[in-house]
Structure 1
Amino acid sequence: MYMLVKHAHLTIILLTFVLFIISFVLTMKKSEMVNNKLLKIGPHVLYTLFVITFVYMVAVNPLNLYPFVNGWASSKLGGFVLYVLSITLALKWAKSNLWRFVGLISAIFWLVMSARLAYADRLKVKGSVEDPNAYVEFVQSALVAIC
């Protein structure tokens, strides 16, 4: 069941990103299709499903990863919040195209950082890495991925 929910979680992330890109392009083109019901309601439904799958995976995870207890899980949660805020900046708050692109780049950045963090196995278990160089290596690899 855990793997099924995990794959649903990843699919939801992909769908939110696809709907964001579609909405962003339509917003940039000043199209009336941006007011489509699917594009207005769909992301909220997906975010709700995302949170439900996140709570389930945190509750039954085999590594005891809990937000606000384990830095890895807290970072993932923070990345999601910043991702959603970046999308909101790009689609609603921004009044100029420059700020819309800032929101787009920011959303992509937080999505990539959260995905990169998802595969940082050595950082997942609290206390498993006592070597501070592991964190330095992680930050360096993240910066390389960005640049």
Structure 2
Amino acid sequence: MYIILKHLHLTCITLSICLFTLRFYWRKQNPLMLQKKWVKILPHGIDSLLLASAISMAWIASINPLEQPWLAAKIIALFAYIMAGTFALKRAQTARAQNISFALALMCFAYIIAVAISKQPFPFMN
């Protein structure tokens, strides 16, 4: 069961970042695409599956984020990613703020991936 959840999780990660990037592109180039119903619904469904698979894997593996600093770091970075992504896609009013928010979101995403691979909260310091 764990391996199925892991594959689901990895698939959702890929879909989530691809859709995030596409939605940012559309915000810049074709904002009307952002108004389509599927564009408003699908990312939330994918992100919900992503979170559910993560929680399920942690549950099966008996991993507590309060006892595993790397997992706590991923959770904190996830909140930063969500905040930056929200600004990039919705809240930032200027092109500069949108671009900076998008870059910050991508950096948070890269950090989450690095932590997931290394199982270290500071993977770039080793």
- TM-score w.r.t. the length of structure 2 is 0.90
Q: Distance in 2 between matches of 1:44 and 1:31?
A: 19
The equivalent of 2:40 in structure 1 is 40
Q: Give the ranges of 4+ consecutive aligned residues of structure 1 lying more than 4 Å apart after TM superposition.
A: none
Matched with 1:131 is none
Q: Does structure 2 retain, via aligned residues, the 8 Å contact 1:12–1:46?
A: yes
1:23, distance to aligned residue in structure 2 (A): 0.8
The DSSP-based 3-state class of the residue aligned with 1:75 is helix
Q: Does 1:4 align with 2:4?
A: yes
Matched, 1:139 2:121: no
| More RCO (CA 8 Å, sep 6+) | 2
Q: CA deviation at 1:87?
A: 1.0
* 1:44 Cα deviation after fit: 1.1
Letter aligned with residue 51 of structure 1:
L
| Greater mean deviation of Cα atoms: 94-103 or 73-82 | 73-82
Q: Which residue of 1 aligns with 2:104?
A: 106
Number of the residue aligned with 2:70: 72
- Name the SS for the 1:69 alignment partner: coil
Residue by residue over 1:71-106, the C-alpha shift from the partner in whole angstroms, topping out at 9 and shown as x without a partner, is: 111111112221111110100110011111111101
**What is the distance in 2 between the residues matched to 1:72 and 1:140?**
13
What is the DSSP-based 3-state SS (H/G/I as helix, E as strand, rest coil) of the residue aligned with 2:67? Answer: coil
Q: In 1, Cα distance between the equivalents of 2:80 and 2:107?
A: 10
Question: Higher Cα Rg: structure 1 or 2?
Answer: 1
* Structure 2 unaligned blocks of 5 or more: none
The count of corresponding residues between Structure 1 and Structure 2 is: 126
Percentage of identical aligned residues: 25
